Amino acid sequence: MLVTVALFVLGLILICLGGDRLVDAAVAIARKIGIPQIVVGATIVSLGTTLPEILVSTTAAFDGSAAIAAGNAFGSIICNTALIAGLTQTIRPTKKVETKPLLWRAGIFFGVIIVLEVAGVLRGEFGRLVGFLLLAMFVVYAVLNIVRAGSEGGDEEENEAAEEGSLLKQFIILAVCAAFLYVGANLLVDNGILIAEAIGVPQRVIAVTFIALGTSLPELVTSIVSMIKGFSNVGFGNILGANILNLLAVIGIPAAVMGIPLEASTYQMDIPLATLVMAILIVPILFRKKASRLQGIALLAIYAAYCVVSFI
């Protein structure tokens, strides 16, 4: 058991290191080839921080552990929103949020998650058709980010010097980090399942708590660094983008490959709670154009209660 726990922790470390450096490399590449930062944040950065979830869910689906694949996606959304956004908004609430780019992304998130809830209740699974529709929506989402970038304004931050090092060096770093993420994801899933079985915890519980928190570490690192540097909008936008990718890619890929049968608790608790915490985070901001510390406290309280209920 000690070796299993050590390998589980090693998986978390590899995912954290790989995800953090992958984002740095992706941003450096984007700057060198002239992609606007708003497109970088909505696509490359969010995709980079969501890669652990994508790899974990895809690996779990091929291994036949559907509870990990579905639970990790919704658990990550809950963790990203209730824990990470809750923590950062409690410490330093985001000010002057641009509602125009927020509105259409929020519309995509809530539209997709409602469809998934209906599919879960009616069929008890996310079939291959749902998977292909999610992947098609992922393509639409990526195109919209590029097309609407100009109308949503230029770079919000001052221009910064591109990171030192050649473009080839950044691509090498990107490839190495991707390898770290792949190895870390495999260690996390394999040993997470063994730990769950050894201590009698259902796979869904360990998926929506420990594994979800582990794969959300890149979002946590990004949000904290953004907050410290005074660019809280960057961390906020990354969480929103990551949550959308959790729906479209983390669920879409394994569902398209072989379908994902669901446990009843997924559509009875996980999906409704993911919708609720996102509504608590997003809706007040759409009206007030800024976040409040009260939102952060409420989200943290919900996450604490969620963890307790999951284990009970």
Question: Per residue in 96-147, pLDDT tens?
Answer: 777 777 889 999 999 999 999 999 999 989 999 999 999 999 999 988 887 8
| 293-311 and 271-288 helices, crossing angle to 10° | 180
Structural domains in the chain, CATH included, are 2-153+165-311 (1.20.1420.30)
Q: How far apart are CA 268 and CA 247, in angstroms?
A: 17
Which two three-digit tokens encode residue 282?
A: 């997003």
Mean pLDDT calculated for residue range 228-256: 83
pLDDT of residue 208: 64
Residue 280 has pLDDT above 90, yes or no: yes
Burial environment of residue 204 by CB neighbours within 10 A (0 to 12, 13 to 18, 19 or more)? buried
Tell me which of 8-22, 179-193, 220-234 is least confident: 220-234
Candidate ranges 42-56, 164-178, 217-231; pick with highest mean pLDDT: 164-178
Q: Supply the mean pLDDT for the chain.
A: 81
- Contact between 246 and 110 (Cβ < 8 Å): no
Question: Is residue 57 over pLDDT 80?
Answer: no
In the structure, what pLDDT confidence band is assigned to residue 76 with cuts at 50, 70 and 90?
Answer: confident
d(CA 236, CA 13): 24
At residue 156, the pLDDT reads 44
Q: What is the largest CA-CA distance in the chain?
A: 54
